[in-house]
Structure 1
Amino acid sequence: MKIALLSYSTKPRGGVVHTLALAEALAAAGEDVTVWSLGRGGDPGFFREVNPDVRVRIVPFPDGPEGETVGERILRSIATLREAFDPSPYDIVHAQDCISANAAGRCIRTVHHLDHFTTPELAACHERAIVEPFAHICVSRSVADELAAGWDLKAEVIPNGVAYERFAATDTAARTAWRTRLGRYVLTVGGIEPRKGSLDLLEAYALLRTGHPGVRLVIAGGETLFDYRAYRTRWETRASELGVEPVVLGPVPDDELPALVAAADAFAFPSLKEGFGLAAMEALAAGVPLIVRDLPVLHEVFEPAARFGATPETLAHELGQALTQNDPTRQTAGRELAARHTWDTAAQRHVDFYRSLN
């Protein structure tokens, strides 16, 4: 089959990581795969090298005019990708987000998670990208159930894979380098934004420090299409009020990320909305204690390997437990869970689903 996978960005977001890993696994299974994406800000390629068996088509997407709103950027993104993409050579057109689904026309859509937007253009993009595709995939049963309840749509459930060996077998010297630089730390990946529960994690960290004053909060990642400057300002103001100084690394080079994860004392994943939690699964592969938001989807994906907290107080308590209690049962369960989620399996299930549609 000739397969086109479409993404809205070249930056290291979870959906983009998913797209590239799926493309490479599909190509390894013998499929003819091309990944299409917008190259934001002059990006000529993705955040990491892509296996040469996968064709890559980057559509230039320069920065917009000063004062461009989020809504205007969304519409320009859709129009730019739509103008460049020709679906006719492909047997399968598979969009991974609402922007690429709006641009692709008739397509399969993976719904990674469902959001509620207030920006009119983004809300309309989100809705069209659910109702117009002719077939749907979700990365968890919980999201598929949301899709069924809200839109009466049936989705195939195909969980993410995880690059298990990449995170399970990290270089000792690289881990030591992060420990030397940061000391003991709780890590979160995904930047500072509302969906990631960043303010709640900040409050939890302030509570945690009363019993663990030497532990730092480290935040990696943060590339996004949206403008979260107002939320970031609120976060910084609250950090100052609480008297805490988290370490904000921003985007971390892809080859340095596994060691950063593996060197952490705990991994915090307090997202308010998720479809799977790929970064959290990578932490389990590395053997790092995992604390996640008490959400049905995260129980589905991470039980019994994670600890769960619903509020800053319970998140802080569970983080403290993870820092003080050696829990080999959970660690083993986490490694085994991550090892079961292979990209080869995910790719084969995608191929089976694609063929079932013909």
Structure 2
Amino acid sequence: MKIGIDYTAAIRQGAGVGRHTRSLVATMLEQEPLDTDFVLFYAAGGLNQSQQTHLYSLERHRPANVKYVRLPFSEPELTRLWQRLKIPLPLEWLAWMDNPFPFPAPLSGLDVFHFPDFALPPHRKGKGLVTIHDLSFMVVPECAEAGLRRYLTAAVPHAVKRANRVIVVSENIKHELVERLGTPPEKIKVVYNGVGPQFRPFNETERFELEEVRQRHKLPKHFALFVSTIEPRKNLTRLVEAWAEVKQTPAGRDRKLVLAGRRGWLYEPIFRRISDLKLTEEITWLDFVPDVDLPALYNLAELFLFPSLYEGFGIPPLEALACGTPVVTADNTALREVFEGAAVLCQATNTVSITEAILTTLTSLDGDRHLVTELRAAGLNRAKQFTWERAAGETLALYREMAGLKFQ
């Protein structure tokens, strides 16, 4: 079996689809025998030093059954070619243009093309598989940047229609595809995201590592944590307003809020609201935190807050659960599906509800701890249900099905 995977997001995106693709592919390579070949292709150009180093390391240490293929155009150029100009130049030809030797052509003879990042580029042979992570651009269009919304509004229906099969990361997304795009349910396969083994409760012997991360990021002793991109969909304005109320109580007086994530679309009003509420000394922004520091960051936090307006799955709160950190998240979309019974749920559009959920958890932390003890146990058990090993196994089984092979 020969599988081609679009690895562009894995190289270029630190979080989100990038982390999903890196984790999934790495685990599949550990599970699949060497008689299955993987071709990981990616768009050219625009890599920063860290991304170039990552790619060099991958190519240097690649297994014998893995090949990396660079396409001759950058990601924006490919988007313009396929989406705007609608020139159906197939991937096989593009790959051959930049890699004419040796024969056969780099992307020839593939049984399955897997595109993990919403779009399905043209290809001549091989079955097409696309992963749809969410439909936020349709469900909450006001929370999507206009250019991205236009792109996804055109690309996703086209991809879902043309693909032989579609992977989604939750039952909620499957329901939305059926209801909004009329996708046949039998065409859709739900493969939940996972959480890596590095996300776990640290023990006392790892206290030095925790303190090292605390010092490096200048973290307070007691804090609640948010991890994700700073953008409207994450509902941070209401979270900040709720935190202002929490600070007026005994439970919040000596605690701070830490926001970890790069600045996204329309981040300015969020920081402006922090300033208006005079919370600049009470809320710390860390920018993007490298993957290697995240397990310690979750372990250091007393509470993880994620009142997002819409999620296709919700990897950060799952990582927090796996580290034994109590989670407050929203009672909506896939967040309800994944976290109900293992986290404190709140109404994302109601600041009072967010405030009460935070205070309920903090009060338990400071009191009899009965609630947080239950949350910790339930959270650890819930996180065990979502592993990259499971996701990789289900994806590989789908590859075999699409390639016409029976599971051995």
Same fold (TM over 0.5): yes
Task: State whether structure 2 residue 194 is matched by structure 1 residue 161.
Answer: yes
CA displacement 1:165-207 (0-9 Å, x = unmatched) = 4433473222223445322111111121122222222222222
Match of 1:316 in 2: 355
How far apart are the structure 2 equivalents of 1:207 and 1:36?
A: 49
Match of 1:346 in 2: 391
Task: Map 1:92-241 onto structure 2 (within 5 A).
Answer: 92-99=112-119, 101-102=120-121, 107-116=128-137, 118-119=146-147, 120-153=150-183, 154=185, 155-169=188-202, 171-179=206-214, 181-183=218-220, 184-211=222-249, 212-222=252-262, 228=265, 231-241=266-276
Task: Map 1:2-151 onto structure 2 (within 5 A).
Answer: 2-9=2-9, 10-30=12-32, 31-38=36-43, 40-42=46-48, 43-44=51-52, 46=54, 52-53=62-63, 55-57=67-69, 75=80, 83-84=94-95, 87-99=107-119, 101-102=120-121, 107-116=128-137, 118-119=146-147, 120-151=150-181
Identity %: 28
Deviation at 1:301, TM superposition (A): 0.6
2:226 and 2:258 in contact (8 A); partners too: yes
2:95 and 2:107 in contact (8 A); partners too: no
TM-score (norm. length: structure 2): 0.75
Deviation at 1:41, TM superposition (A): 4.3
Which of 264, 285, 295 is matched with 1:258 structurally?
A: 295
How far apart are the structure 2 equivalents of 1:223 and 1:108?
A: 31
Match of 1:68 in 2: none
How far apart are the structure 1 equivalents of 2:296 and 2:55?
A: 17
Task: State whether structure 2 residue 363 is matched by structure 1 residue 330.
Answer: no
Assess, with a 3 A threshold, how the Cα gap between structure 1 residues 178 and 320 changes in structure 2: closer, same or farther: farther
1:164 and 1:339 in contact (8 A); partners too: no
Deviation at 1:93, TM superposition (A): 1.1
1:2 and 1:90 in contact (8 A); partners too: yes
CA displacement 1:3-62 (0-9 Å, x = unmatched) = 222244322222211111111111111243343344644432559965733544465877
2:39 and 2:107 in contact (8 A); partners too: no
Deviation at 1:135, TM superposition (A): 0.8
Match of 2:322 in 1: 285
1:158 and 1:346 in contact (8 A); partners too: yes
SS state at 2:136 partner: coil
How far apart are the structure 1 equivalents of 2:270 and 2:56?
A: 30
- Residue type of the alignment partner of 1:217: L
- Residue type of the alignment partner of 2:354: L
Deviation at 1:164, TM superposition (A): 3.1
- Residue type of the alignment partner of 1:14: G
SS state at 1:276 partner: coil
Match of 1:67 in 2: none
Assess, with a 3 A threshold, how the Cα gap between structure 1 residues 203 and 223 changes in structure 2: closer, same or farther: closer
Deviation at 1:125, TM superposition (A): 2.3
Assess, with a 3 A threshold, how the Cα gap between structure 1 residues 88 and 122 changes in structure 2: closer, same or farther: same
How far apart are the structure 2 equivalents of 1:220 and 1:339?
A: 24
How far apart are the structure 1 equivalents of 2:230 and 2:78?
A: 21
Assess, with a 3 A threshold, how the Cα gap between structure 1 residues 215 and 130 changes in structure 2: closer, same or farther: farther
The count of corresponding residues between Structure 1 and Structure 2 is: 345
Deviation at 1:81, TM superposition (A): 10
Structure showing greater relative contact order (alpha-carbon pairs closer than 8 Å, 6 or more residues apart): 1
CA displacement 1:261-318 (0-9 Å, x = unmatched) = 1111111112222111111111001000111111042121112111111122211221
How far apart are the structure 2 equivalents of 1:61 and 1:220?
A: 33
Match of 2:401 in 1: 356
Assess, with a 3 A threshold, how the Cα gap between structure 1 residues 77 and 321 changes in structure 2: closer, same or farther: farther
CA displacement 1:40-99 (0-9 Å, x = unmatched) = 4443255996573354446587798xxxxxxx9953797999544864342221111234
How far apart are the structure 2 equivalents of 1:59 and 1:206?
A: 49
1:44 and 1:58 in contact (8 A); partners too: no
